Chains A and B, each alone.
Chain A
Amino acid sequence: MLNSKVHSILVILILFLIWEIFFHLLNLKWYLLPPPSMIVSSIFDNAHLLFISLLTTLEIAIFALILSVIISTGFSIIFYFSKFVETTLTPITVILQVTPIIAIAPLISIWVDSSEIATLICAFLVAFFPLLANTIAGLKSTEKNHLELVSLYGANKYQVLRFVVIPNALPYFLSGLKISSGLALIGAIVGEFVIGPISGHSGLAYRIIESGYQLDIPKMFGAVFLISLSGIMLFNIVRLISYLVLRKWHSSYQQID
């Protein structure tokens, strides 16, 4: 496990090295494709600016994620109890899902004054659906045998939920959360691209636009690099949570020894 991680980091480093070598060998223009060394030094040169932007983007992505967790769990439990609500509301969630966020973002920016909240809404709309769909699938996939077992002992609705349905849905919820963590970041970036800089301290998307205006390509690469980095970070945090919650009993963490 650890070994394969070391390997993949090594491969990335080698790719960077090849990139660096080819840049010098082929005499490429730095303003078209800057070498990794230049990107890294640009990140350090603009450290303060980029760091604040990173925080802004992360903040929006994480807030959107938390919001999707709360709302999708709430909705899926309501859906679980009421078939009527589910059949009525599902088409609406699907419509929201299939309409590209880029198409809705301008509308949101018209309706909502604060660009920060508008971006947050974009990120939320993108992150919400996979989480909802997965959690509902999880709640519905409860084994009939398990339900019979608890009803045999006269469990009430709340006990059925607590002892059987929710634990059973957890792995589904967590794999939804993995997808949503990436999507929340995408939503936060796309939202800012369309809606414009977040007032006060712009996010990373605006840094990319800004670097484009200034023809500061190394900084642009730096911003992109930081976006990937924060995506990886978010994903790994969710993976860690998922590991801590499921490692003892779920088959995906089966120890082979």
Chain B
Amino acid sequence: MGLRILSEKERQKNIDEKRSALIAQLKGVSKKFKSAKSESLHNINLEVYQEDFLSILGSSGCGKTTILKMMCGLIKSTEGKINWPTSNFQNSSENPANLSFVFQEPNLLPWMNVYDNIKLPLKIYKENSYKADEEIYDIIKLVGLKGFEEYYPRQLSGGMSMRVSIARALVTQPKVLLMDEPFSALDETRRFDLSQEILKIKKEKNLTVVYVTHSIYESVFLSNRIYVMQPNPGKIFEEFDFSNQEKPEDYRFTPQFFEQTKIVSDSLKRAQNAK
């Protein structure tokens, strides 16, 4: 079975079947910013299941980032509900360790070196019970930053800074990783390398990832489920599921990959013109 568009009925069936694996659910979520005339997001219904690599794909300005920020409580929704059935926080970051956010830019604090930047969440989260240095060094090694602990952000390249940012997100041992176009500023090669590594880390740590992107290739390559969004106001246009599909080692260079990219690309095109 390849990739297919889910109908509303199939979606409902999915929710019933995989209820126990449901990690987050957005129900009829809308957002209207105070300064805006109309809604930025309208009636978003979205499910995240355990160990999903879920991509939210859409053009710039369609509210992808807003969805992510609402999920982690940085922005409050105007309408609707965001449920986290398996964890005890509701629409806010009451349990921050379960959830981490990777920003669009590395967003490092320039006055801290790599090590302190990575440790920052722990310093905030459990001020008095610092995790053993070893565990931090493990994560530094995992993202390939060994030997750069003492470097300051201004001394790092874009790709390196992003690695620090990912390490910082991983240091709290989150179950869910929210990523907001994390590699959009990197060149093709770096982006591919880091995507590959994210998949590896996801597998190793049994992470659930929600990934916001405008890159069709990235979303098809990385995810098992894709939500395509339409703009003005932001809505979910179509949902793709290819959970049942095995991705071969060189997936990126298979005809299957190009075929699926085309399907998603067509969907995105239709989403642009949808009312």
A→B interface (CB under 8 Å)? 145-146, 148-155, 159, 163-164, 167-168, 170, 248-251, 254
Query: Which A residues touch B127, using CB under 8 A?
Result: 159
| Cα-based distance from A152 to B95 in the complex (angstroms) | 10
| New contact pairs (14) apart from A145-B107, A153-B172, A249-B111, CB-CB < 8 Å | A146-B107, A149-B109, A149-B120, A152-B74, A153-B93, A153-B121, A154-B93, A154-B94, A155-B124, A159-B127, A163-B123, A167-B109, A167-B111, A248-B152
With A163-B120, A248-B152, A254-B154 as contacts: A153 and B109 at CB distance below 8 Å: no
Cβ of B197 under 8 Å from chain A: no
Could you list 28 A-B pairs, sorted by A, with CB under 8 Å? Answer: A146-B107, A146-B109, A148-B69, A148-B74, A149-B103, A149-B107, A149-B120, A151-B74, A152-B72, A152-B74, A153-B120, A153-B125, A154-B93, A154-B94, A154-B96, A154-B125, A155-B124, A159-B127, A163-B109, A163-B123, A163-B124, A167-B109, A170-B111, A248-B152, A249-B112, A249-B152, A249-B153, A250-B110
Query: Which B residues touch A164, using CB under 8 A?
Result: 109
Query: Which A residues touch B73, using CB under 8 A?
Result: 152
| Cα-based distance from A150 to B72 in the complex (angstroms) | 12
| Cα-based distance from A215 to B94 in the complex (angstroms) | 77
Query: Which A residues touch B153, using CB under 8 A?
Result: 249
B184 to chain A, nearest CB (A): 15
How many B residues touch A, CB cutoff 8 Å?
A: 26
A-B pairs, 7 with minimum CB distance: A167-B111, A153-B124, A155-B124, A153-B121, A249-B152, A145-B107, A249-B111
B124 to chain A, nearest CB (A): 4
Q: Which residue of B lies closest to A255 (CB)?
A: B155
Query: Which B residues touch A254, using CB under 8 A?
Result: 154
Q: Which residue of A lies closest to B105 (CB)?
A: A145
The answer to whether B107 and A251 have CB atoms under 8 Å apart is no
Q: Which residue of A lies closest to B165 (CB)?
A: A149
| Cα-based distance from A116 to B113 in the complex (angstroms) | 46
Number of A-B contacts (CB under 8 A): 60
| Cα-based distance from A146 to B117 in the complex (angstroms) | 12
| Cα-based distance from A153 to B123 in the complex (angstroms) | 10
The answer to whether B107 and A153 have CB atoms under 8 Å apart is no
What secondary structure prevails in chain B residues at the interface with A?
loop
Q: Which residue of B lies closest to A248 (CB)?
A: B152
Query: Which B residues touch A154, using CB under 8 A?
Result: 93-94, 96, 124-125
Q: Which residue of B lies closest to A167 (CB)?
A: B111
From A146, A153, A168, A251, residue with most partner B Cβ within 10 Å: A153
Cβ of B49 under 8 Å from chain A: no
Query: Which B residues touch A167, using CB under 8 A?
Result: 109, 111
Query: Which A residues touch B211, using CB under 8 A?
Result: none
| Cα-based distance from A148 to B153 in the complex (angstroms) | 18
The answer to whether A159 and B105 have CB atoms under 8 Å apart is no
Query: Which A residues touch B101, using CB under 8 A?
Result: 149, 152
Q: Which residue of B lies closest to A164 (CB)?
A: B109
| Cα-based distance from A159 to B122 in the complex (angstroms) | 12
The answer to whether B103 and A145 have CB atoms under 8 Å apart is yes
Query: Which A residues touch B72, using CB under 8 A?
Result: 152
From B93, B124, B127, residue with most partner A Cβ within 10 Å: B124
Contact of B96 among A148, A152, A163, A170 (CB under 8 A): A152
| Cα-based distance from A152 to B48 in the complex (angstroms) | 20
| Cα-based distance from A151 to B112 in the complex (angstroms) | 18
Q: Which residue of A lies closest to B123 (CB)?
A: A163
Query: What 0/1 pattern do residues 214 to 257 of B give for CB contact below 8 A with A?
Result: 00000000000000000000000000000000000000000000
The answer to whether B154 and A150 have CB atoms under 8 Å apart is no
Query: Which B residues touch A153, using CB under 8 A?
Result: 93, 96, 120-121, 124-125, 172
